[in-house]
Structure 1
C-alpha cells in the first residue's frame, strides 16, 4: 500500500475480487492468509513476479545473497539487457521493489558476500504455493526416495539438502527439464555422482555446488552447454577445473572464491567470451591465464596478481590485458605489483564502474612509476595501498573526490602525506606503518604562509576532513606531534567571522604503537569523539591517564575511552562512570 497515493487507488484494493470467498480456495491458502500476499503479488510487474517466484526453490529460512540471486535471475533469462547492457542494474531494481514490498526480511551485510536476506515463512510458503511443482526443495534427511520420484519430472528448479550418510538420489536424473540445481552436502562421494548427473541434466542453466567436498569437477561438465551460472565458492578441497569448462560458451558467472586448494584456472579461459563475473579472491589460484583480454563484457574481476617471473610467467596475463575490460566494476585487488610493464596500458582510470581498489606491492623497491601509472577513476570510493616502497604517494590521490575509505599500510618510506583533509567525502582513514613524523597543516590541507603561520584567508575557505568519522593510526613509530592546530574564528569587526572546522564529524579514533607521540593533536581533542582507543603509547598514557594525567580533563568528556589495560565508559543516562 505504500505506493498508493490516492483515495481511488486505496478503494480499488479494498474492492478487489480477491477478497471474495469464491476466488480462492481458502483451505489451500491457510484460511485466507495468502490473500493479502496475492494483492501485493498481482500489484507487481509481471517480470518482477517471475523473479520473486524463483525464490521458492530455496529451502525455508535459507539465507540468500543478493548478488548471487541476481546472477541466477540473469542465468534464467529473466532480466533483459538495457541499452548499456546492464542486466545487473535491472536485477538490482527488481530486488529493491521486492524488498520494499516486504517480500524479503532480515537484511545483513557480509564483508565478503555483500547483502544477505531471508524470506518470511509465510512468504516462502506463498511462493511455493504459486509455483506448484516447478520449484522443489528436497531434504533427504526428512523425505524418502519415493517422495522425490513423485514430482521430480516436472521440476525446473531444485535444491537438495544431503547428509553425509545419505546416498545421492539417482531419481534426479529424471528431471530432464531441470534449469537450476543447488546441492548442499559435505559428502565427498558427490564427486562420483557428478559425471552421470552432467550427462543426464544437460538443460541446467544455474549450478550451485558451493561448500561441497568434491576434489575435482569432471570433464563431463562440458556437456552442460546451456550452463550460465556456476558457483563453486568455498569448496575447500577442490583441486582442479577441467579444460572442458572452456567449452561452456554461454557461461556468464564463475565463482571459485575461497577454494584454497585450487591452484589454477583452465588455461583457455579466454574462450568464455560471455563471462560477466569471475570471482577468485581467497582461492589458491596463482595467476590469471593469458587471454583474459578477450572477455570484454566482464563486469566482475575481484583479484589479479602480477606474475613476476618464474615458471608461470609465459602462461600468466599481465596488466596490459586489462586495457579493454572497461566494464569491470565493484572491487578489484591487484597483488604483487612489481615493474611498470603494462601498468599504464591497464588504463584503470577508464574503468568508471570500479568502486574499490587495492594495490598490493609486497617487497618491490622501485614502484613509484608503477603507482602513478595505475590511476583509478575519479569515482573510486575505497582505496587500499599496501607495501608501497616509494617515497611519495601518487599525485592522483587528491583527484579521488568520491573517496570514502582510505587505507595506507606498510608504506614504510612515506614521510609526508598529501593534503588528505581536502578529500570532501572521506569517512574513514587508516594510517599504518608509515615513516610520517608530523600530522600537520599539510596533512589537514590547510596552507601556511612563508613565515610558517596559518593564512587566515585560506582558513576561512577550508573545512579539513569534513566527513571523517573514523581515524586509525597504527605503528607510526616516528610521529612525534600534530601541529597544534585547533578550531578557531577569523575575521575582524568589519569582516564576517568564519570558523575553521577540522574533523567536525569524527566519532572514533584509535592510536596504537606510536611511542614518540607526546600529545594528541588539538583538532582530535576538539572533535566530537565518542570512542578513543590508545594502546602502546606510553607518553599519551602518562599524559591523559584518568585523574593522574596532567591533561586528563581534555579527554574526560569522551564517553568511551580505552587504554592498554583498562576501559572507562560513561553511562550517559544514569550519569555513572564505570571502570
Structure 2
C-alpha cells in the first residue's frame, strides 16, 4: 500500500541524496508527491532529477552551497522552482525545467547570466549581485507577466522581448538603464539611479500604477510627462518633481508624496492639487520644510487625507476641506495636534463632521 503524501521535506540530511536507491524507494512510496523542499544540506552536490516522479509540481532548494543544477533527463512538468543561497549555481538556462511557470532565484552570488524559459510567467531574482545579463531564449518570455529584480548591482538593462510583461519591480539595481517594456501596467522603481536620472520619456501608455523611490540625485526631469492613464502614483525623494508634472494625470485616484520634494513646495506651502479632479486618496509624508497647505490645495473629489512626519506643518486648509472627505489621519505633526483636539482645538468645529478622524494613531 502506497503512502499518500503530497510533499517531501529534507532538512540538513544529505544521506537521502547520496543513496539514490534509498531516495528512489522513498519516492516510489509517495505516488502523488507534488512538492519537494530541501533545506541546509551543506554537502549535497547534485540533485537526482532523473528519478523524480512526473506528478512533481514544486521544488524549493535553500542553503545548499555545493549544489550544482543540471538539466533533467526526460520530460518533467515542474511549475515552480525556488533556489536560494546555493553558491555553486552559476547559470540558469531554458533547458533546466523549461515548463516552470514561476522561478525564484535568491542569494546565488555565482549566477552571472539568466536565460528566461518560454513558459515562465513570473520571475523573481533577488540579491544575485553578479548577474550581468538577463535575456530570453529564442521565442521565449512570451508568457512573462511579472518580473521582480532586487539587488542585482551589475545588471545594466532588461531584455527587449517582453511583450506580455504587465508588472515590473526594480529595486537596488544602480546600473540598470534604457527603455522599459511598453505594455507595462504596474511599475515600481526603488533606488535605481541611472534608470531614473537618465529617463527622458516614459512611452508607457498602458501604465496605471507607478512607484518611484529615489535618492534625491535627480537634476533635470522637466521634460517628463507621466502617462495620463496612471491612477496610482507614489513618489519619494524626487527633488525636481513639480506640480507641473502632475497636470496630465486626470485619472489619478491615489497620490503619495514623500521626502525631499522641494519643487512640490514653495516657501513652505504645498502646491495645489485641485486640478486632480479624480483624486480620492492623498498621502503627504516626511516633508520636513512643509508649513502649510493653501485653502485651494485639496481637490473636491478627495475622500481620504493622510499627513504624517511633517514636524513644521502648522496649518491645514480647514475651510477648504472638501465635503467628500470621509477620513482624516494626522500623525507626528506636533504643531497641528493642539489645533485638532476634540471639542477644544481651533480646527475642531471645521473638522468635527468628518466620519473618521485619527490623530497620532488614536481615533477621536
How does the TM-score come out when normalised to structure 1?
0.51
The alignment partner of 2:133 has SS state of: coil
Give a deviation string over 1:70-116, Cα, whole Å, max 9, x none.
Answer: xxxxxxxxxxxxxxxxxxxxxxxxxxxxxxxxxxxxxxxxxxxxxxx
Q: Which residue, out of 51, 55, 59, partners 1:200?
A: 51
2:159 corresponding residue in structure 1: 322
For residues 154-169 of structure 1, the aligned pairs below 5 Å read: 159-162=6-9
For the pair 1:416 / 2:268, whether they are aligned, the reply is no
Do structure 1's residue 444 and structure 2's residue 293 form an aligned pair?
Answer: no
Asked whether the equivalents of residues 430 and 471 of structure 1 are also in contact (C-alpha less than 8 Å), the reply is yes
- Identify which of 389, 397, 403 aligns with 2:217: 389
Match of 2:182 among 320, 342, 351: 351
Aligned with residue 75 of structure 2, among 208, 223, 226: 226
Aligned partner of 1:120 in structure 2 is: none
Matched, 1:182 2:34: yes
Give 2:103's aligned residue: 255
Secondary structure of the residue aligned to 1:418 is: helix
Count matched residues: 349
Alpha-carbon contact 1:444-1:465 (below 8 Å) kept: yes
What is the alpha-carbon root mean square deviation over aligned residues?
4.0
1:380: which partner in 2?
207
Looking at structure 1, the residues matched to 27 and 271 of structure 2 have their Cα atoms a distance apart, in angstroms, of 70
- What is the Cα deviation at residue 428 of structure 1? 1.6
Q: Structure 2 matches for 1:137-536, cutoff 5 A?
A: 146-148=1-3, 159-162=6-9, 170-174=24-28, 182-183=34-35, 185=37, 188=40, 195-196=47-48, 198-201=49-52, 204=54, 207-210=57-60, 213=62, 215=64, 218-219=67-68, 221-227=70-76, 229-233=78-82, 237-241=85-89, 243=91, 247-248=95-96, 250-256=98-104, 259=106, 261-265=107-111, 267=112, 269-270=114-115, 274-277=118-121, 279-281=123-125, 283-290=126-133, 292=135, 294=137, 297-298=140-141, 299-300=144-145, 302-304=147-149, 316-319=154-157, 321-333=158-170, 335-337=172-174, 343=178, 346=179, 348=180, 351-352=182-183, 354-361=184-191, 364=193, 370-373=198-201, 375-387=202-214, 388-391=216-219, 393=221, 395-398=223-226, 400-411=227-238, 413-414=239-240, 416-418=242-244, 420=246, 422-433=248-259, 434-435=261-262, 436-437=264-265, 438-441=269-272, 443-445=273-275, 464-466=276-278, 468-485=279-296, 502-504=299-301, 506-521=302-317, 525-536=321-332
Assess, with a 3 A threshold, how the Cα gap between structure 1 residues 216 and 290 changes in structure 2: closer, same or farther: same
Runs of at least 5 residues in structure 2 that lack an aligned partner in the other structure:
17-21
Give the secondary structure class of the aligned counterpart of 2:336: helix
**CA-to-aligned-CA distance 1:380-416 (integer Å, 9 cap, x gap):** 1110111152255564443x222121110122x2363
CA deviation after TM superposition for structure 1 residue 301, in Å: 5.3
- Distance apart, 1:305 and its partner CA: 6.5
- Residues 255-281 of structure 1: per-residue CA shift (max 9 Å, x gap): 216x3x33353x4533x5535335225
For the residue of structure 1 that corresponds to 2:129, the secondary structure is: coil
Where is the strand percentage greater, Structure 1 or Structure 2? 2
In 1, distance between residues paired with 2:55 and 2:135? 23
Gaps of 5+ in 1: 1-145, 152-157, 309-315, 446-463, 488-501, 569-579
User: For residues 87-106 of structure 1, what are the structure 2 equivalents within 5 Å?
Assistant: none
Q: Does structure 1 conserve the Cα–Cα contact (< 8 Å) formed by 2:118 and 2:140?
A: yes
Which residue of the partner structure matches residue 19 of structure 2? none
Residue among 352, 357, 364 paired with 1:561: 357
Change (3 A) 1:288 1:404: farther
Please state whether the residue corresponding to 2:243 is helix, strand or coil.
coil
Offset at 1:250?
3.2
SS across alignment from 1:292: strand
Checking the alignment, whether the CA contact within 8 Å between 2:81 and 2:103 is kept in structure 1 is yes
What CA distance in whole angstroms lies between the structure 1 residues aligned with 2:138 and 2:169? 16
- Say if 2:56 and 2:77, in contact at 8 Å, map to a contact too: yes
Higher helix share: 1
* Cα distance, 1:218–1:293 mapped onto 2, change above 3 Å: same
Partner secondary structure for residue 333 of structure 1 = strand
User: Following the alignment from structure 2 to structure 1, what is the Cα–Cα distance between the partners of residues 320 and 300?
Assistant: 8
Describe the superposition over 1:181-218 as per-residue Cα deviations: whole angstroms up to 9, x where unpaired.
5325576459859734x1223x74854123x5552584
Q: Deviations over 1:139-160 (max 9, x none)?
A: xxxxxxx433xx8xxxxxx822
Q: Deviations over 1:521-575 (max 9, x none)?
A: 358622423322212223322322222221211111122222237431xxxxxxx
The answer (yes or no) to whether the contact 1:391–1:414 under 8 Å persists in 2 is: yes
The structure having more radius of gyration, on CA atoms, is: 1
**When the two structures are superposed, what TM-score results if normalisation uses the length of structure 2?**
0.76
For residues 534 and 524 of structure 1, do their structure 2 counterparts lie closer, same or farther at Cα, with a shift above 3 Å needed? farther
CA distance 1:429–1:181, shift in 2 (3 Å): farther
Q: Is the 8 A contact 1:379 1:402 kept in 2?
A: yes
Residues 253 and 275, structure 1, Cα contact 8 Å, conserved in 2: yes
Give the C-alpha shift of residue 367 in structure 1: 7.3
SS at match of 1:553: helix
In the aligned structure 2, how far is the partner of 1:402 from the partner of 1:357?
13
Q: CA deviation at 1:378?
A: 1.2
Is residue 305–residue 337 contact of structure 1 (8 Å, CA) maintained in 2?
no
